[in-house]
Amino acid sequence: MKKSIFILGIVAALFSSCNDFIEEDSLSFVTAEETYTTASGFQLLVNSNYAWLKGIYGGDPWLFVSGTDMYAEGRTPEPAGLSQYKQLIPSAEGVDQLYTSCYQLIQSVNKTVYYSTITQQNSNVPVLVGEAKYLRANAYFLLVQTYGGVPIVTENFTSPVPLQFDRNTAEQVYDFIIQDLTASLASVGTSSYSTAGRVNKRAVNDLLAKVYLTRGYETFGKPTDFATAASYADAAIAGQSLTLAFAQLFTPGNDLNAETIFSVQYDFNSTSSSPTTLGNKQFYFFSSYLGGSETGAPLRSYNLCPTDYALGLFEKNDSRWNATFMTEILELKESATKTVLYYPFYRNAGDPNVKVRHFYAPKWFTPTDKTTWMTANASRLSTAFVYHDWGTYSAAYTLIKNIDAQTIPVRKFDDPSLTTPSSTGPVSTRDIITARLGETYLVAAEAYLKAGNAGTGLQRLNAVRTRAGVTAATAAEFNIDYILDERGREMLGEYTRWFDLKRTGKLVQRAVLYNYKITNASNFAGNNGQQKILRPIPQTVIDLNQNKNFPQNPAY
């Protein structure tokens, strides 16, 4: 396999990773050979593979969701290159984050595969290697979707090597991903993820479905890719119905529920030493700023706010509306000088002193509905109550009214633990769910549609709508745009939207239609008549590579 390109920081991280892990895992400073050739040491090495996921998903999520149809900046600026494309260049802010973190995980897995052949052998070693290969495949899947062809590396680096590397094609990367996942599927266990918390066959089937579905859209995709994707999606579903109420999927403390297929796991004890750096940021985005620390409300960034399109996706009786958004911001006067906002929803349920500070009226509210709601809730209203009419609380509305709590908050990812500070940033210790059953049904729906079996695809999609309590879609409605709309309703704020639009070829069209910061397709115009669909290979990678024949993506 060809070697990987690394920026200097990546090289340092990868080539020192053996020592880093030993220092963390062994206070006696024994060598890697002594540590990883024991059963317990090898288990620690595999655990470190999982830990690298936090670097991929736990920080700013720009590469996952910005510059799409569903999210746009509010009062806080987003990286202009990634959110608006016109200024997207190889040195733009955030371009290198995913590249760096994915290759850190890949090298950790390479170390695992290397030591698996010389460690103390037992029946669990192949299982652990299978788990590691799933993680490596996922990292490469993120890379190939984002940057196109990237270097494939399987070596376990133990000392610095010359910075001269080649680039594999996207087709080769997909083949390697499928090779890793096929090996993983053959060896990982079947224990429930909600109890074991480790890669299992369901997770591998789910990722294989996504890989084949995505490759099916590529020019080098195989004619059977969509049908294969549908088959793997059904294997991941395994006959399990969507029986949990949608709100239960994201109830704090219930992240490892029966529908969670895979997640990046956190806990307070592992982050308590430095919560502002070791927690994750998912709860921090998708909302307006809610007030300073004096209110006790969660700190929010006021960017990646929902667009009018995203908010307008929901219809009356869709249970996902109230489960996704904090439609009422509550307050509780704890003393004459202190009023707490937002968290009373979780911490003071049933307290008669809790009042409503803000209410965000849904799209379907009529003037009669407003009057009815105001009358029914008159006794609950704060003296500072604000009624937000439909059309006055999206990302774009911040151009008209730019104040705290103006944009409706997304509550799916709230971390109301008493140990969560309200003013120090990314401190959430909730898990980041990266694969769950509801999405797998939608992957199956898309795969069946593209494979020419729309009837079965419609059944999979309507299973999601039935759980949400809304009318089933009809055959006449069922197309890629409807699937994207349904994914928007089901998965708002989850880290998939840019990939969804890029995969289906809808990125430019939908961003121009629905993102107020992207007004024209010319934003995507790049060099050589190419559009900026793929992100650029980071400039530092290009600069440090001694192989000057390494190509940048053509739009840059």
Q: Tokens standing for 270?
A: 């592992």
Q: Helices then strands (H, E): number in the chain?
A: 26, 8
Q: Measure the CA–CA gap between 429 and 431, rounded to whole angstroms.
A: 6
- Judged by average pLDDT, the poorest of 10-24, 56-70, 210-224 is 10-24
What percentage of the chain exceeds 70 in pLDDT? 93
pLDDT of res. 25: 41
Q: Which two tokens stand for residue 201?
A: 């066959």
Identify the burial level of 254 via C-beta atoms within 10 angstroms of its C-beta, where 0-12 means exposed, 13-18 middle and 19 or more buried. middle
Q: Which amino acid is at 349?
A: A
| Cβ within 8 Å of residue 29, ≥6 positions away | 22, 23
**What CA–CA distance (Å, rounded) separates 293 from 295?**
5
Q: Are strands 355-360 and 71-72 parallel, antiparallel or unpaired?
A: unpaired
Q: Please name the helix (run of DSSP H) or strand (run of DSSP E) that holds residue 12, with its range, or none.
A: helix 8-15
Q: pLDDT band at residue 40, thresholds of 50, 70 and 90?
A: very high
Token representation of residue 44 = 């620690």
Q: Which residues pair with 340 in a beta bridge?
A: 332
Q: What is the pLDDT of residue 10?
A: 40
Give pLDDT tens digits for 258-299: 999 999 999 888 777 776 677 899 999 999 999 877 888 988
Range in 166-180, 280-294, 308-322, 331-345 with the lowest mean pLDDT: 280-294
Per-residue confidence at 162, pLDDT binned at 50, 70, 90? low
CB environment 389-422: b (16+ within 10 A), e (fewer): ebeebbbbbbeeeeebbbbbbbbbbbbbbeebeb
Tell me the CA distances in angstroms from 196 to 74, 131, 259, one per residue in order. Answer: 40, 12, 14
Amino acid letter for position 530:
Q
Per DSSP, 385 falls in state: E
Q: How far apart are CA 422 and CA 292, in angstroms?
A: 8
Whole-number pLDDT of residue 20: 30
* Per-residue pLDDT at 23 exceeds 70: no
- The Cβ of residue 329 has, within 10 Å, a number of other Cβ atoms equal to 26
Kindly state the tokens that stand for 92.
């733009």
Query: What three-state secondary structure class fits 355?
Result: strand
Q: What is the pLDDT of residues 232-254, one digit of tens each?
A: 999 999 999 999 999 999 999 99
* Token digits of residue 385: 């109550």
Cβ neighbours around 534 below 10 Å, total: 20
The whole-angstrom separation of Cα 432 and Cα 452 is 34
* Other C-beta atoms lying within 10 Å of the C-beta of residue 318: 20
Confidence band for 29, pLDDT divided at 50, 70 and 90: low
Selection from 499, 457, 489 nearest residue 474 by Cα = 457
Determine the residue type at 469.
Answer: G
CB neighbour class for 511 (10 Å; exposed up to 12, middle 13-18, buried from 19): buried
